[in-house]
A = this chain, B = another copy of it.
């Protein structure tokens, strides 16, 4: 824009547009807080979600407000950012603009694309109706409503096939999310639910975890996968390895030709990056992620960066980096530095991911962790996991809330968030059969 009065003397601030308020987008925004730039942060929701604990909302252990923080509140004191709550429709590289769903155009000098990913049903999108995934607060609340309704249905039909269907839970995918969901379900079902639903016995529950590979948590060393298997077994979770889902219907999940009858399927198997990335017109990998260059830019652009779950970046051994919060956050810091210091492309050092380790929890007081060459399993890993997750939560209040919920739950086994918000219209399959109690 021409600015007759100031243009010659005052340097126009660089316009940085950031798409997505997840770990990548939010960290990039915060890292640029002292930079001489004008940031626009776009998200379709008004909050940042601490995704690693989302499964605890889905399993009724935590409330949404415990693990989410409004972006505006989090960024309240940062003066150089404008927040726009809207969907992004297109990225127009030619015009160097982002086009929102209300047709607003946002021009940029720098663009950070961090829209994350959604669950992917291997092209069978109709499975989603019966097998919701877990990426947003709305997803988590949907799963929570379904689970709690399922118990309500089962308790009205003791010892019927319909009740057994309602008390069978199939989790598809043996990665971190799948293992955490299955573990939390087993725990909540056998410890908390049984007390509240007279007539349901701990052994009435069946929790089944399906994994296509020959072990769960294949990102970890085999020794820790074995430990995780053992913990799952102790919790009563049945794990089927080398098992591929062929269909998901109203009746349940087909593993090969076997039907696992269930009213509750949770999808933790596949991810696909945001469809927005297609509008960049650059090569994508199998998960539809942008194959970025060593400085996290896209081909032919030195000022368009893709980070987090939306990016396919490689480590030193040419392995793609995993879709984890620490990867997104380190990438965000790298990109923020490049922008703040206006480093020209030819002088940028490649992004290097520093792996501090990873950890996964499987029920109360059970977790596995790997930190460098150190490996932990059991209570130590769980304490470590609890500490790290509380530490990295956004906001002092959320930390306090989650910590007190966990301490409470640890000592009482009473989960804190068993509310059904929206009475889900019961599908025909889950309708209790007619019976007369009189």
Chain A interface residues toward B at CB < 8 A:
1, 40, 44-47, 63-65, 68, 70, 72-73, 76, 82, 84-86, 97, 102-107, 137-138, 141, 148-149, 152, 156, 195-198, 397, 408, 414, 416-423, 431-432, 434-438
Apart from A47-B418, A72-B197, A76-B196, what are 8 other A-B pairs with CB-CB below 8 Å?
A46-B418, A63-B65, A82-B198, A85-B152, A103-B434, A104-B432, A104-B434, A138-B421
CB pair B198–A70 under 8 Å, yes or no, is: no
Tell me the complex Cα distance, A196–B73, Å: 6
A70 cross-chain contacts in B, Cβ below 8 A: 196, 418-419
The one of B141, B397, B419 in contact with A46, judged by C-beta atoms closer than 8 angstroms, is B419
Asked whether B105 lies within 8 Å of A64 as measured between CB atoms, the reply is: no
Q: Once bound together, how far apart are the Cα atoms of A54 and B406, in whole Å?
A: 26
Tell me whether A44 and B418 are in contact (CB under 8 A).
Answer: no
Which residue of B is nearest A414, CB measured? B73
Given A64-B63, A104-B434, A437-B105, residue A420 in contact with residue B45 (CB < 8 A): yes
CA distance A410 to B253 in the complex (A): 51
* Distance of A284 from chain B, by nearest CB (Å): 26
Using CB atoms, name the residue of chain B closest to A60: B70
Known: A46-B418, A419-B46, A421-B137. A436 touches B105 (CB 8 A): yes
Name 11 interchain pairs, CB-CB below 8 A, sorted by A: A63-B63, A64-B421, A65-B65, A65-B417, A72-B197, A72-B418, A76-B195, A104-B436, A137-B419, A138-B422, A397-B416
Q: Please give the count of copies of this chain that the complex contains.
A: 2
A86 CA / B434 CA spacing, docked (Å): 13
Bound form: Cα–Cα A138–B434 in Å: 28
Give the Cβ gap from A155 to chain B, nearest Cβ, in Å: 8
B contact residues around A414 at 8 Å (CB): 73
Contact B105 A438 (CB under 8 A): yes
Q: Which residues of B contact A421 (CB under 8 A)?
A: 64, 137-138, 141
Q: What's the minimum C-beta distance from A430 to chain B, rounded to whole angstroms?
A: 11
CA–CA, A421 to B47, complex, Å? 9
Report yes or no: B419 in contact with A47, Cβ–Cβ below 8 A. yes
Alpha-carbon separation in the docked complex, A234 to B265 (Å): 53
Question: Distance (Å) between the CB of A424 and the closest chain B CB?
Answer: 11
Task: Point out the residue from B105, B408, B434, B438 that lies within 8 Å of A397, measured CB to CB.
Answer: B408
Docked pose: A63 CA to B398 CA in angstroms: 13
Tell me the nearest residue of chain B to A398, going by C-beta: B416
How long is the Cα–Cα vector from A435 to B397 in the complex, in angstroms? 37
In this complex, what residue of B is CB-closest to A435?
Answer: B104
| Min distance, Cβ A198 to any Cβ of chain B, angstroms | 7
A-B pairs, 5 with minimum CB distance: A107-B438, A72-B196, A85-B152, A63-B65, A70-B418
- A431 near B102 with CB under 8 A, answer yes
A97 to B104, CA, bound (A): 59
User: Which residues of chain B are within 8 angstroms of A82 by Cβ–Cβ distance?
Assistant: 198
Residue of B at shortest CB range from A412?
A: B397
Contact B156 A84 (CB under 8 A): yes
Partner of A106, one of B198, B408, B438: B438
User: CB-nearest residue of chain B relative to A140?
Assistant: B421
CB distance from A378 to the nearest CB of B (A): 29
The CB with the most chain B CB atoms within 10 A, among A107, A148, A196, A416, is that of: A196
Shortest Cβ distance from residue A188 to the other chain B in the assembled complex, whole angstroms: 12
**A63 vs B65: C-alpha distance when bound (angstroms):** 7
A434 to chain B, nearest CB (A): 5
State the CA gap A416–B197 with chains docked (Å): 32
Q: How far is A89 from B363 in the complex, measured between Cα atoms in Å? A: 41
